[in-house]
Amino acid sequence: MQDITDAGFMSIIASYGPPDFFAAQYFRIHCQYCFDSHILDAIFSRPGGKRVVAQFIGEDEGYIRDACLALSETGNIDMLDLNIGCPAPKIYKKNVGGGLLRERGKIASILKVMRQNWRGCLSAKMRLGFDSADGFLDTFKTIIDSGVDYITVHGRTVRQLYRGGADIRAIAEAAEISPVPVVANGDIFTAEKAMEILKNTKCSGVMIGRHAVRNPWIFRQINQLKAGEKVFEPTLADVRGYVDKLYGNIKSLNSNIRHKDSRLKKFLNFVAVGVDPEGRFLSHMRRAQGIDQLLKVCDAHLLGSNADKRFNCGGYKTLVARPNHEN
């Protein structure tokens, strides 16, 4: 996830119970592409011993071919994904990310080049369509026929951004006919919802984005449900511990992060919707000025008499906190 899944953040998630694998921020592949060192570091970091998938966003087969070969030479990277879903207008207008969904033939030719020049595991992450989901299964089949090893589907169109619910039924239909594993994505709020999808559809896995930022225990909870064990229920004091880890990571980043409080708020926006149903923490933390005041707000809402209260792992649905950068 752009501006989220750096090495430090993934290692925090791993400390609470890692997913089977992580996904790094994407590399933009164009005429002046270079592999950003912080993204490479994040991939090489193998948080909790787990692999990190590299992702390309681009549309030029020539540069993508070169980038596949160059990435192979870095060694130690064995999973590569093509972004066919990013809905940010500044991205899709360049005909990359979600913009590719308007041109099925282009998707096929890019993936063909990737398949020919990348020996490791190849995957694609798509949305249901650009304006509508009408041609979803055709695009899905095009991607499968290009030789991917698995495919992740976010159950929304590009135009929807993050509005409306993710259509898990459409993903399930695709999984029914797919010869390769399908990973469902979008609005998987809780471990229970993840289990429901794994049990009731032919999807082989789930990808969890925003809801893992909000609830870093979600992967551990899924594994506990799978094993029939009691599911860990975090308290607000546990959440305060998570805030400390997030702040520790922010502090360790290089000094060009001038506003540490706004970076921490970016993460707390997700977390806050599970703290109290009235949104008091959300509103107070947003108004806090400077890191000291922000940490005091966290103490007041998450410690003391609140420390033993349950964190709502599913989040309070009436509270909405949109991320700064939606991809």
Ligand X SMILES: Cc1cc2nc3c(=O)[nH]c(=O)nc-3n(C[C@H](O)[C@H](O)[C@H](O)COP(=O)(O)O)c2cc1C
Catalytic residue ranges: 86
* Distance of closest approach, residue 170 Cβ to ligand X, in angstroms: 14
> Rounded distance, CA 199 to CA 23, Å?
24
Strand order in the sheet with 150-157: 21-29, 51-58, 79-84, 121-129, 150-157, 182-185, 205-207
> Rounded distance, CA 11 to CA 152, Å?
23
Q: Please tell me the count of residues contacting ligand X according to CB under 6 A.
A: 22
Under rule CB under 6 A, residue 119 binds ligand X: no
Under rule CB under 6 A, residue 267 binds ligand X: no
* Distance of closest approach, residue 82 Cβ to ligand X, in angstroms: 9
Under rule CB under 6 A, residue 188 binds ligand X: yes
- The residue (of 26 and 240) whose beta carbon lies closer to ligand X is 26
Under rule CB under 6 A, residue 325 binds ligand X: yes
The residues in 144-173 that bind ligand X, with binding defined as CB under 6 A, are: 154
- Inter-residue contact 136 to 165 (CB < 8 Å): no
- The residue (of 154 and 220) whose beta carbon lies closer to ligand X is 154
* Distance of closest approach, residue 303 Cβ to ligand X, in angstroms: 28
Under rule CB under 6 A, residue 208 binds ligand X: yes
Under rule CB under 6 A, residue 306 binds ligand X: no
- The residue (of 18 and 209) whose beta carbon lies closer to ligand X is 209
Q: Which stretch binds ligand X (CB under 6 A): 11-19, 102-110, 204-212, 291-299?
A: 204-212
* Distance of closest approach, residue 155 Cβ to ligand X, in angstroms: 9
- The residue (of 125 and 240) whose beta carbon lies closer to ligand X is 125
> Rounded distance, CA 274 to CA 166, Å?
20
* Distance of closest approach, residue 22 Cβ to ligand X, in angstroms: 11
Binding interface with ligand X (CB under 6 A): 1-2, 4, 25-26, 55, 83, 85, 125, 154, 185-188, 208-211, 323, 325-327
